[in-house]
Chains A and B, each alone.
Chain A
Amino acid sequence: MKPILSYQDFVAGLKQNKLLGLRCRACGQVTAPPRATCPECRSFDLEILELSGRGRIETFTVIRVPPEPITEERTICLVKLEEGGQLMGSLLGVAPDEATMDLIAKPVRAGYRIDPQDILSGGERVGITFELV
């Protein structure tokens, strides 16, 4: 037995520049990142779907005290994907001091980055990134 879309599959997809999500065959809801059940109707009947990577910023913050081993300030966003679901990611191309409330509702596209791992990260640290489009 295995998850329909596992974290490992999701990361493998990112490394092929694909953002993978799940569509519920029972109700049609699309979601990312991977999970066992549909967040809308709780069905297990899910299928893998490749997403566009496009979405809009719902909210954000700027991390001024970074968590080890990251050393730089980052703007972290919650993005609502156009097909459904939300993803958290770091925002590229906007200086932390330029991150204002104007970011909310701006359209973005997803990518990924790999951060240094440590003994607490359970392996490679792959994080979603976003860029303004």
Chain B
Amino acid sequence: MREVAVVGVGMTRFARLPFSNVEMFSLAGREALEDASLSPGDIQALVCGNVFAVFEEGQSNLAPFVASDLGLDPVPATRVEGACASASLAIRQALLGVASGAYDLVMAGGTEKVLAMETPLATRTFAMGCDSRYEAATGITFPGVFGMVAHQYAHKYKLPLSSLKERMAAVAVQNHAHALNNPKAQFHKAITAEEVLTSPMIADPLQLYDCCPFTDGAAVVILASMDRARDLVKKPIRISGFGQGSAGPLYTQGDLTRVQAREHSARMAYKQAGRTPQDIDVCELHDCFTIAQIVATEGLGFFPYGQGSQAVLEGKTGMRGEVTVNPSGGLKAKGHPIGATGAAQVYEIVKQLRGEAGPRQVEGARVGITDTLGGDLMTCSNIILEA
């Protein structure tokens, strides 16, 4: 397979936005095209991640609508859905298209308008990430999935639940602190552990501030063959590994603290890149809930299983940590438009590796990884990028 690089990135602010899914993708797509000094006519294919446009605005088959709006038609335009991992899967499909030699220039990313749904409908639709017959039918909601993960984590590692909750709160505090330096983030508000621990309970033991918000937004990347990339931009960011994994519903997984889809995906990405977890300087991972960040840092190999929760307290994942996690603010503070998140993670890592992250720049960042999880721990995708 050929080498592939990122030549352009763009994203809207993540917030409540008065724009349609197509409008948001076009805004982010235009920023990415300008970043790469390209025009719509240069793009040879579009892969667009989106989960719930059908419920948000009664729109299906989103990709050709985006292609037309952005002036990309009549090239191939495909929508990809993998719950919260949709944009990462879209990017991976685009990567395969360029690496295989089928295309030289592909636009990939995602868009989502979660806040078009009121909380009851959003709660109902997000539960569709669970098995509709054998899980959602019991009354589980998506935060409940991670509530189960948290209880199992505390039980397995014999950690008092109150200690685990303090460590989870520290994750939320850290991600909010990071987002203060991210103009694209939904929240620019520092929070305290006390605020987390006194917020309303959503799904025991997860409280409101353990949960990422509902958000609108879009993010887009432009991928090129490395040869083409070198002609186009001064700092092409090479993608050295891209993995993906799958798993069955929660009731098939056994130990929820070890996310099998991630283990498969991360192993694939590290192997392709010829890298180990210790090589990673900066990481954008899937903190849909605070416990999810703790579990992800272990699954990505940054800390031994069972030790991820104390690593936060020890500053190991902060701006000066061994591996800086979620300098963008993560899903928690940057926001989580579910179809777009994977592309926003790549956006951030690209900015970091180019040295363009300004006040949230991780010093000396040369190798980064993104981590996106979809649904009931069922889909995971990891992308390794290098300066």
Q: Residues of A with Cβ closer than 8 Å to B?
A: 7, 33, 39, 58-68, 70, 74, 76, 78, 85-90, 99, 101, 104, 115, 120-122, 125-128
Check if A7 sits within 8 Å of B133, measured CB to CB. Answer: yes
Q: Is B151 on the interface with A (CB-CB < 8 A)?
A: yes
Check if A101 sits within 8 Å of B151, measured CB to CB. Answer: yes
Number of B interface residues in the complex (CB < 8 A):
43
Chain B residues, CB < 8 A from A78 = 148, 250-251, 256
Name the one of A63, A86, A104 contacting B139, with C-beta atoms under 8 angstroms.
Answer: A63
A-B contact pairs, 26 of them (CB 8 A): A39-B252, A59-B148, A59-B149, A59-B152, A59-B155, A60-B148, A61-B143, A61-B147, A61-B204, A62-B147, A63-B144, A67-B120, A67-B127, A67-B136, A70-B139, A78-B251, A78-B256, A87-B251, A88-B140, A88-B250, A90-B139, A101-B151, A115-B139, A120-B124, A120-B128, A121-B137
Given the known A-B contacts A65-B202, A68-B123, A120-B124, are A101 and B144 also in contact in the complex, defined by CB atoms under 8 Å?
A: no
Name the one of B137, B154, B202 contacting A64, with C-beta atoms under 8 angstroms.
Answer: B202
Q: Is B135 on the interface with A (CB-CB < 8 A)?
A: yes
Distance in angstroms between the alpha carbons of A59 and B291 in the assembled complex? 15
Q: Residues of B with Cβ closer than 8 Å to A?
A: 119-121, 123-125, 127-128, 131-141, 143-145, 147-149, 151-152, 154-155, 161, 200-206, 248, 250-252, 254, 256
Distance in angstroms between the alpha carbons of A122 and B136 in the assembled complex? 12
Q: Which 9 A-B pairs have the closest CB atoms?
A: A61-B147, A62-B204, A59-B152, A127-B138, A86-B251, A61-B144, A127-B137, A59-B148, A74-B139
B-side interface mostly: helix
Given the known A-B contacts A59-B152, A88-B251, are A65 and B203 also in contact in the complex, defined by CB atoms under 8 Å?
A: yes
For B144, the closest partner residue in chain A by CB is: A61
Distance in angstroms between the alpha carbons of A59 and B137 in the assembled complex? 18
Chain A residues, CB < 8 A from B145 = 61
Chain A residues, CB < 8 A from B147 = 60-62
Distance in angstroms between the alpha carbons of A60 and B149 in the assembled complex? 8
Check if A88 sits within 8 Å of B204, measured CB to CB. Answer: no
Name the one of B139, B152, B201 contacting A67, with C-beta atoms under 8 angstroms.
Answer: B139
For B257, the closest partner residue in chain A by CB is: A59
Check if A89 sits within 8 Å of B138, measured CB to CB. Answer: yes
Name the one of A7, A60, A126 contacting B151, with C-beta atoms under 8 angstroms.
Answer: A60
Chain A residues, CB < 8 A from B135 = 88
What's the least CB distance linking B147 to chain A, in Å? Answer: 3
Chain A residues, CB < 8 A from B137 = 115, 121, 125-127
Check if A61 sits within 8 Å of B138, measured CB to CB. Answer: no
Distance in angstroms between the alpha carbons of A58 and B140 in the assembled complex? 15
